[in-house]
């Protein structure tokens, strides 16, 4: 798949077919994700692949428990029906104070790589700045050591939905060629 097509065609998928996602496909995707840039080339990632139903249930429960009222439409129950979930984690000792950027950049590559293999996913945060309990409960659920932060939760499955086209801001509204208003 061409890069442009991958970028434009990727969408958030929250409904998955009852079809196994092979380890070999997940490994291909993770192999691409690890080429992401990282601060000082620290490559601080651990990609935790979750297959266990009880662990998926706990992740959904934690996300729902800490879901802000205004985001209730984004409940996380669907995580339980994903054939696999990748939790992107970063080692703080190799992150050079850039845990979130390091994690999110790898997650972005992972989402695109998954799409090129026909898989659907959706970006979900594994932490809340104002609520350290989120990351802590995820850490305990997955047995992640204290020097490692969970950053992103990315379910993987073959899509069983086709999202409506999304509203896109015009490129002209998003681009500014000079900071002082001059072109």
Ligand X SMILES: Cc1cc2nc3c(=O)[nH]c(=O)nc-3n(C[C@H](O)[C@H](O)[C@H](O)COP(=O)(O)O)c2cc1C
Question: Where on the chain is the footprint of ligand X (CB under 6 A)?
Answer: 11-12, 14, 74, 122-125, 163, 166
Residue 134 beta carbon to ligand X: minimum distance, rounded to whole angstroms: 11
Cα–Cα distance measured from residue 47 to residue 87, given in angstroms and rounded to the nearest whole number: 6
Nearer CB in complex with ligand X: 112/144: 112
Pick the closer one to ligand X by CB: 95 or 125. Answer: 125
Q: Give the C-alpha distances (Å, rounded to integers) separating 101 from 76, 109, 139.
A: 23, 12, 19
DSSP state of 68: -
Q: What are the tokens at 93?
A: 């000792």
Q: How far is the CB of 66 from ligand X (least distance, A)?
A: 10
Specify the residue, 166 or 183, whose C-beta has the smaller distance to ligand X.
Answer: 166
The CB-of-125 to ligand X minimum distance in angstroms stands at 5
**Which residue's CB is nearer to ligand X, number 129 or number 183?**
129
* Minimum distance of ligand X from residue 166's CB (angstroms): 5
Q: What is the DSSP string of 76-135?
A: -GGGGG-SEEEEEEEEGGGSTT-HHHHHHHHHHHHHHHHHHTT-BB--EES--TT-THHH
């Amino acid at each position: 798949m061409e890069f442009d097509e991958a970028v434009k065609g990727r969408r958030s998928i929250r409904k998955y077919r009852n079809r196994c996602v092979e380890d070999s496909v997940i490994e291909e995707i993770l192999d691409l994700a690890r080429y992401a840039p990282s601060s000082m080339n620290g490559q601080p990632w651990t990609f935790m692949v979750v297959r266990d139903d009880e662990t998926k249930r706990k992740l959904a429960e934690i996300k729902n428990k800490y879901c802000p009222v205004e985001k209730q439409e984004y409940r996380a129950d669907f995580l339980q029906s994903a054939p696999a979930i990748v939790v992107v984690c970063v080692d703080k000792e190799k992150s050079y104070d850039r845990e979130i950027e390091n994690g999110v950049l790898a997650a972005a590559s992972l989402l695109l790589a998954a799409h090129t293999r026909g898989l659907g996913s959706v970006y979900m945060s594994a932490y809340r700045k104002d609520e350290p309990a989120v990351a802590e409960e995820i850490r305990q659920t997955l047995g992640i050591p204290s020097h490692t932060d969970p950053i992103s939760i990315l379910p993987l499955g073959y899509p069983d939905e086709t999202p409506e086209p999304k509203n896109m801001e015009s490129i002209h509204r998003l681009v500014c060629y000079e900071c002082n208003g001059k072109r």
